[in-house]
Amino acid sequence: MDKKNMKDSAPGKTVSKESAPKKYTNYPTVIDHSTEVQKEWAPWVRQGLWDIKGYRVVKGPAGGGTIDESKKNLKEFMVIDRTEASLYSHSYGLVSPFFLGLLEGKLKGTKCPNCGTVYCPPRAHCWNPECRMTETEWIDMPLRGIIHTFTVQCLAAAPFEHILPFSLGWVQVEGADTAICTMLHIPYHDLFIGQKVNLKFRPKAERKGDLMDMYAVAVPGQKVPKWAVLQSDEKQLNRLDEATAATTEFIKKRYGLDNSKRGW
């Protein structure tokens, strides 16, 4: 983008000659957990917009080898400062009932009236090519399923870092043809593919209409099968023990939280 265009598209500049007529302004607000947040964030939103506020040129070591070797190869790097304090607002669209359901402690899925495919997480339209985007219908899902697959996480995006280490599962809810991603409140030494789980919800006051409102616990009385991928490889399990112990230490130092006491 050249300088002229950057100026034209800068915030606050009117680009089009005629502004489009406003549509859809009369929808009543049924529930409002947003206005207070909007007020709080408005000044930050105005400062945001991802534009570069400044930069520094710093000299630092470059290239491979040892630290001492790379110190001999100093290069200049440009470090830019961008404001990221934007408040993104987006709609859940046609799958909103799913997220509203989570607030109520209910798990909802959708079913295609044409081919009968059951989606959980929901899809607003069937993805079976024969159904040609048939709109699906809402159904209540049972709060039980099996683990389709799982990962043990020692790394996570910033908003979830403080709960590390944790296990994340893809759970096939009973009756569903797809699998849903959820937190597993199960020690990873007990985890296996095909494990039966019950789905639980966080206390109502803590729910946000988000996938993190829900988690899975193991149905009691199950034994880890001999073929279980993780437990049948002692080396792998030891390596994972070391990694999760180091992660737990890191979280203790950074957040003052002892996640080893959670039991999962």
- Between 126 and 173, whose beta carbon lies closer to Zn ion? 126
**Structural element, H or E, at residue 248:** helix 234-255
Q: Which is nearer to Zn ion, 70 or 128 (CB)?
A: 128
**8 Å CB contact between 146 and 194:** yes
- Between residues 12 and 129, which has the closer beta carbon with respect to Zn ion? 129
Kindly give, in sequence order, each residue whose CB lies less than 8 Å from that of residue 23, ignoring residues fewer than 6 positions away: none
Q: Which is nearer to Zn ion, 115 or 229 (CB)?
A: 115
Tell me the two tokens of residue 168: 């994340």
* Min CB(226)–Zn ion separation in Å: 39
Pairs from 49-53 (Cβ < 8 Å, separation ≥ 24): 49/11, 49/83, 49/86, 50/82, 50/83, 50/84, 50/86, 51/10, 51/11, 51/82, 51/83, 52/80, 52/81, 52/82, 53/81, 53/82, 53/83
DSSP 29-72: PS--SSHHHHHHHHHHHHH-TT-EEEEEEEEEE-SSS-HHHHHT
Closest CB to Zn ion among residues 161, 177:
177
Q: CB of 120: closest distance to Zn ion in angstroms? A: 15
Shortest approach of Zn ion to residue 140 CB, angstroms? 19
Smallest distance, Zn ion to C-beta of residue 131, A: 3
Nearest residue (CB) to Zn ion, 176 versus 186: 176
Q: In whole angstroms, give the CA distance from residue 255 to residue 1.
A: 42
> Shortest distance, CB of residue 175 to Zn ion, whole angstroms?
15
Least spacing, CB of residue 28 vs Zn ion, in Å? 34
**Which residue ranges make up the site for Zn ion (CB under 5 A)?**
112, 114-115, 126, 128, 131
